[in-house]
Structure 1
Amino acid sequence: MAIQAITPYPVAQDMTDLREIRDQLKDTGHPVSLDTIKAWIQDQDLYTERYRGRTYVSYSDILMAHQEAIAGRS
């Protein structure tokens, strides 16, 4: 009989370092700072992982937060 692991959040396959996310968002024409990304993580209670001193978050989650922030400016 197999046992299913219980996790509070399904681990995303697109976990990305915050600095890499910042650098990729520069190309969108709507760049953001690391502080802004961290604020989105906190405001939306996004799942993060720490590995070797760096914080990783789902790139898809950040793209949705970015989209909402840009749409809110209009």
Structure 2
Amino acid sequence: MAIDPLIPYSPAGDLMPLREICDLLKPTGHPATLRHIKTWIRKDDLDTVRYRGNIHVSYSDILLAHRDAVLAGEI
């Protein structure tokens, strides 16, 4: 019998600051700006966490949003 996870958000190891995510997407051939990332967060209603003054978001969620944006020709 399967159960739903008790924690409805991404594990802490997957959370990254927006600037670092932006830097990781630069060499992909479809770089995303901070503006793109913030737009995806709003559009997809992604969970964010503020830690030490920086906004952190799930890197996996951003990768999915990046994929969708590339396929849609937005980037």
Give TM-score scaled by structure 2 length: 0.83
Residues matched between the structures, number: 68
Q: Larger Cα Rg: Structure 1 or Structure 2?
A: 1
Structure 1 unaligned blocks of 5 or more: 1-5
Identify unmatched segments of 5+ residues in structure 2.
Answer: 1-5
Aligned residue runs from structure 1 range 5-44, under 5 A = 7=7, 9-12=8-11, 13-44=13-44
Runs of 4+ that moved beyond 2 A: 9-13
Q: Note the aligned Cα RMSD (angstroms).
A: 1.6
- Which has the larger helix fraction? 2
Q: Distance in 1 between matches of 2:10 and 2:71?
A: 27
Residue of structure 1 in register with 2:65 after alignment: 65
Contact 2:21 2:59 in 1 (8 A): yes
Alignment pair present for 1:45 and 2:45 = yes
Letter paired with 1:62? I
Q: When the two structures are superposed, what TM-score results if normalisation uses the length of structure 1?
A: 0.84
Q: Report deviation, 1:11.
A: 3.1
